[in-house]
Structure formats: C-alpha cells, structure tokens
A and B are shown apart, each in its own frame.
Chain A
Amino acid sequence: MSQIAFWGAVELGLVYAFVAVGVFLAFRVLDFPDLTVDGSFPLGAAVTAVLIIAGVNPWLAAAVAMAAGAAAGIATAILNVRFKILNLLASILTMIALFSVNLRVMGKPNVALINADTMLSPFYGLGLRDFYVRPLFVGVLVLVAVVLVWRFLESDAGLAMRATGANARMARAQGVDTSRQIYLGMAISNALVALAGALFAQTNGFADVTSGVGTIVVGLAAVIIGETLLGARGTLIALVGCVLGSILYRIAIQVALSTDTLGLQASDLNFVTAVLVTVALVLPRLRRGGAA
C-alpha cells in the first residue's frame, strides 16, 4: 500500500469517526437502532455542497448541514416517540424519505465541488503535502467532537440520557423525561453523521446521493471494532474506541483491496465490510466461549 493510499484510508476513517460516534450515541447510549444515518450522511454532504456552490462560507455550510441532520434525527424520534412506530422501522421510513429529500436538495444525483473554497482551502499550500493536511484537519475536528461528547456524557444531562437507554423505567422514576432524551440524543447523533457527510463532500470534492448506502454498517463496524479492542471501560475509552475502530476499519479495507493475491476489486467493498463486521461480532463471543 502506498503512503498516499494509507493516509487516504486514515482520512476516510477520521471522517467516518463522526459516524461512529453518532452510531454509538444511538445504538449504545440510547439503545435505539437507528438507520436514519444512511440518509443523514448524504443529506449533510448535499446541503454542504449546494451551499458552498451558492457562495456560502464552508464552515457555515457544515453547520447548516448539522442542523439538517439533527432535523432528520428528530423526525425519526417523532415517529417513534409520538406515533409509537417501532424504532427500527421509524428510522427506515426517515431514511427512505431522505433519499428523495437529498435529490431535491441537490437537484441532481451528483454535485461536484471542483475549485470551490472548502474548510480546508486555507490549509493547503502551507508547506504540508495535501494528503497529510486532510487527515490532520479532520483529526483535529474529531478530537474536539470526542472531548465535547465525552464531557456531555459525563454531565448531569448526559447521565440522564445514558439512564434512558439503560433503564427507561428507572430513569422516569428519577424524574428524567425519557421522550425528550430520545429527541435530543437522535438530534445529536444525526447531526454528527451529517457533519461526517459535510466533511466527506469537502475533502473528496463531491456529494453523491448514493454515498449513504451502508453508512450504518460502517458506523457499527467501527463501534464494534473499538469495543473488541478496548473493552467497555467508561465513556472516554468507548469514544476513543469508535475513532480507532473507524480508522482501523478503513485501513483493513484498504489492505484487503490493495492485496493483489486476494483478487478483490472496489465493487467487493460491501461484501468485505459484511465479513469484517461479522468477524468483529463473532470474535468476542468465541473468546468468551473459550474461557467458559
């Protein structure tokens, strides 16, 4: 694997670290299996791309993308909390609806950002090679996000959210409005995923309506790889695990695709992903089985 391919994988891993943290909030903290992310990732990309082309500041464009993602998460939460639709189904409905929304936002299936100013533009040409600048830039943002989410989860408000996912009845008895926690958690989760979409568009120079397919699996893969490697030891370790899992996942994919003897091609990506996630899911089980 070339150096450029390696740093490309790290960069993509860092972009998807936001997805991993978002998926961690929904699946692990709130115990809400949320497939909305397959729609909110391209939504973030679409909103950012369209706004940047319209001349909006790329940072502001990313912020608007996050707001759009939050709205998508709230839509799923409303279907589940207000209308009592099963959580998984509620998120599938939003995801399907978002496919049309994303096409409307972009007006076409694919928008290119060639030569447009992005959040990264000021950092190119400062002496560092481009393929270092991108992962470094995204890495700093990931660091900020991880610290913020960590501080939140360790606060009174975050504790209420964790209790909602772990034991909703107890949470209510302690005065926690569990419905509100689900709204809030789904909003934060999908805002992070939309931010990943926004960064994806800005680092890769395009937004595509199909780029969201399998986002949930990639996010889950990262979460599970992180848990397998670091174990369950507090919120900070779990969040670091999400980031690490996301990067390792991308490197593993890159290795699998660039190893000629395996004879894999880019279109095999989804199959490789499914195998990787399965292995990550089965490994801890086998280990426990062996010990018992």
Chain B
Amino acid sequence: MIILDNIQVVFGKGTPLQKQALNGVSLTIEQGSFVTVIGSNGAGKSTLLGVLAGDVLPSGGRVTIGNTEVTRKGTAARAGLVARVFQDPLAGSCGALSIEENLALAARRGESRGLTPALGSRRRAHFRERIAELNLGLEDRMRDRMDLLSGGQRQAVSLVMATLAGSKVLLLDEHTAALDPGMAEFIMNLTQKIVAERKLTTLMVTHSMRQALDFGHRTIMLHGGEIVLDVAGDSRKTLEVEDLIAMFRRIRGQTLDDDALLIG
C-alpha cells in the first residue's frame, strides 16, 4: 500500500531555474497492485519515484508506505520498506563485489548488520537456489565479480536482490531501457512473475507506452508534475497506444511534440 497525499516538489527554489517538479500529486496504490507510469521527459516520473524511494524529500505533502509515514525519512532509513531496480544496470549493484556478496547485501536490507559472516553456508545455498531460478546459468558463477556480467544479467540479479529482504513495495525505474529487445522482454517477464508470486505493490516507470499498457493493472500519465491520466480495469484493457496519445492531446489541449512519447 502506497499513499501519496498532495505531494509538492520544487527544484532550485528561489532561483531563475525554479521548477515545480511535482505539483499536488495525490495517489493511492492498493496492496499488491501493479501501476505503470508514463510521461514525457521532465514530466515528473523520476521525481515521483525519488519521492517514494527517499532520494527526493518533498517540500509539501505526506508519503505513506505500508502503515508507516516516511515523508521525512531518507533513502537508507526506509530501505526496509522499498526495493528498487535502477535504469542503469551499473547503479543497482556493486560491480566490485561478487554476485553472492551483492545478494548478501540485499538480504539484510532494512535490518541491522552485525559481525555474522555475510556468506555462511546456509545463506550461500539459499542465494544459489534463488539465482538458479533465473535459468541464466549464473548459479555456477556466484563468486564472479558483478561487473563481469552483461547488463541484462545484472538487471536479472537486481530483481532477485529486490525480493530477498521481503519488502512489499517494488520501484522499477525504466529498468529495461538500457537492454536489447530480447533481454528487455526476458526481464519484463521475470518482473511480472516475481511481482505476481510475491504479491508486490509495484510502481514501474517506463518510456514505452506499449509496455505501460501490456503490464500491470493500472496506468497513470504525468505531465508538468501532475497526474493527467489514470486508467484501470476494463477501460484500460481496450486501450491502445493511439488512444493514449489522443487522450493525452485532449487533456492537455496541445499538440504532441515529443517523439520519445510516441515510441512504443
């Protein structure tokens, strides 16, 4: 469960470059719901994700995740509630650490870290099992450094890392954007499987309208820091990419000049 209440985010306040990144965004996402977020560059998608992850602290409004109010909590302090996969495969894992060390790090997310060996035999076996489920053959490379893996392999491991500590909210930040089409499809299917199996409340930011409609239960569109479209249920099932564009034009009353929005 995620509740955003009247979120305000202003960047560069008081300077000529002042920008209202989010303007009174309110959004309630039920437990186990999978929401996709679209919007052009600068629409506020990444800011929205940052507000949930704790990278961006809003100047107004309230953020509630699960039953905890986290509005003023930083990234590390709320990491136990939120798991995240980044767009850049290099950002979400530690290249200098081995696969199993990355998993050990993620497994203690939101918990205290003591002097217990990070990789006891039980944990090792558990991690190996979880990685074997990917069917990428990585279970035999558990001691390899993470930066020896391809971008797609790293994103796959990142998804496993996101589910190790049992947080109920998953944030996906265009996590297939840096991958080739085949690998992107693999990662999306994996995402869907993991989200369904673990009943995760999921927010996925994407540049692809196709992806936004094909996955999840609900789609919202941001523009200028506001939610301009929010569709779910039957009306969403019949929706096509062209309809989305038409709706977007109608709502904003302007022509669409951003090519990025059309790709998809």
Contact A166 B84, beta carbon cutoff 8 Å? no
Instruction: Across the interface, name the chain B residue whose C-beta is closest to A179.
Output: B76
Report the separation of the CA atoms of residues A174 and B113 in the bound assembly, to the nearest whole angstrom: 11
Contact A175 B91, beta carbon cutoff 8 Å? no
Q: Could you say which of A154, A157, A174 has the most chain B C-beta atoms within 10 Å of its C-beta?
A: A174
B80 contacts the other chain (CB 8 A) = yes
**B contact residues around A169 at 8 Å (CB):** 91
Contact A173 B115, beta carbon cutoff 8 Å? no
Within 8 A of B (CB), among A197-255: none
B92 contacts the other chain (CB 8 A) = yes
Q: Could you say which of A157, A159, A177 has the most chain B C-beta atoms within 10 Å of its C-beta?
A: A159
Q: Could you say which of A151, A162, A166, A167 has the most chain B C-beta atoms within 10 Å of its C-beta?
A: A167
Q: With A159-B97, A162-B97, A163-B94 in contact, is A175–B119 under 8 Å at CB?
A: no
**B contact residues around A174 at 8 Å (CB):** 79, 105-106, 108-109, 161
Contact B118 A158, beta carbon cutoff 8 Å? yes
Report the separation of the CA atoms of residues A151 and B108 in the bound assembly, to the nearest whole angstrom: 18
Q: Nearest Cβ in chain B — how far from A172, in angstroms? A: 4
Specify the main secondary structure of chain A where it touches its partner.
Answer: helix
Contact B115 A157, beta carbon cutoff 8 Å? yes
Q: Nearest Cβ in chain B — how far from A247, in angstroms? A: 27
Contact A173 B117, beta carbon cutoff 8 Å? no
User: Tally of A-B residue pairs with Cβ under 8 A?
Assistant: 87
Contact A178 B76, beta carbon cutoff 8 Å? yes
B75 contacts the other chain (CB 8 A) = yes
**B contact residues around A177 at 8 Å (CB):** 76-77
Which of the residues A166, A172, A175 comes within 8 Å of B94, measured between beta carbons?
Answer: A166
Within 8 A of A (CB), among B105-161: 105-106, 108-111, 113-119, 161
A170 contacts the other chain (CB 8 A) = yes
Q: With A163-B105, A170-B92, A173-B84 in contact, is A157–B76 under 8 Å at CB?
A: no
Contact A170 B94, beta carbon cutoff 8 Å? yes
B247 contacts the other chain (CB 8 A) = no
A260 contacts the other chain (CB 8 A) = no
B96 contacts the other chain (CB 8 A) = yes
Contact B114 A155, beta carbon cutoff 8 Å? yes
Q: With A166-B95, A170-B94, A178-B76 in contact, is A156–B110 under 8 Å at CB?
A: no
B93 contacts the other chain (CB 8 A) = yes
Q: Could you say which of A152, A158, A170, A178 has the most chain B C-beta atoms within 10 Å of its C-beta?
A: A170
Contact A163 B115, beta carbon cutoff 8 Å? no
For the complex, count residues of A whose C-beta is within 8 A of B: 23
Specify the main secondary structure of chain B where it touches its partner.
Answer: loop
Report the separation of the CA atoms of residues A24 and B115 in the bound assembly, to the nearest whole angstrom: 20
Report the separation of the CA atoms of residues A163 and B161 in the bound assembly, to the nearest whole angstrom: 14
Which of the residues B96, B111, B117, B161 comes within 8 Å of A166, measured between beta carbons?
Answer: B96
**B contact residues around A159 at 8 Å (CB):** 97, 101, 104-105, 113, 118
Q: With A156-B118, A159-B105, A174-B79 in contact, is A166–B97 under 8 Å at CB?
A: yes
Instruction: Across the interface, name the chain A residue whose C-beta is closest to B145.
Output: A232
Within 8 A of B (CB), among A103-144: none
**A contact residues around B93 at 8 Å (CB):** 167, 170
Q: Could you say which of A151, A155, A162, A175 has the most chain B C-beta atoms within 10 Å of its C-beta?
A: A175
**A contact residues around B118 at 8 Å (CB):** 154-156, 158-159
Contact flags B65-98 to A (C-beta < 8 A → 1, else 0): 0000000001111011000101000011111110
A101 contacts the other chain (CB 8 A) = no
Contact A172 B119, beta carbon cutoff 8 Å? no
A160 contacts the other chain (CB 8 A) = yes
Instruction: Across the interface, name the chain A residue whose C-beta is closest to B171.
Output: A173
Contact B115 A156, beta carbon cutoff 8 Å? yes
Instruction: Across the interface, name the chain A residue whose C-beta is closest to B92.
Output: A170
Contact A175 B115, beta carbon cutoff 8 Å? no
Report the separation of the CA atoms of residues A156 and B112 in the bound assembly, to the nearest whole angstrom: 9
A176 contacts the other chain (CB 8 A) = yes
Instruction: Across the interface, name the chain B residue whose C-beta is closest to A161.
Output: B113
- A to B CB contacts below 8 Å, 19 in the list: A154-B117, A154-B118, A155-B113, A155-B115, A155-B116, A155-B117, A157-B113, A159-B97, A159-B104, A159-B118, A162-B96, A163-B105, A167-B91, A170-B91, A171-B94, A175-B77, A175-B79, A175-B80, A175-B111
The 5 tightest CB contacts between A and B, nearest first, are: A175-B79, A156-B113, A166-B96, A172-B75, A159-B118
Give 8 new A-B contacts, CB below 8 A, not counting A155-B115, A162-B101, A171-B76. Answer: A151-B115, A155-B118, A163-B97, A170-B91, A170-B94, A173-B53, A175-B77, A175-B80
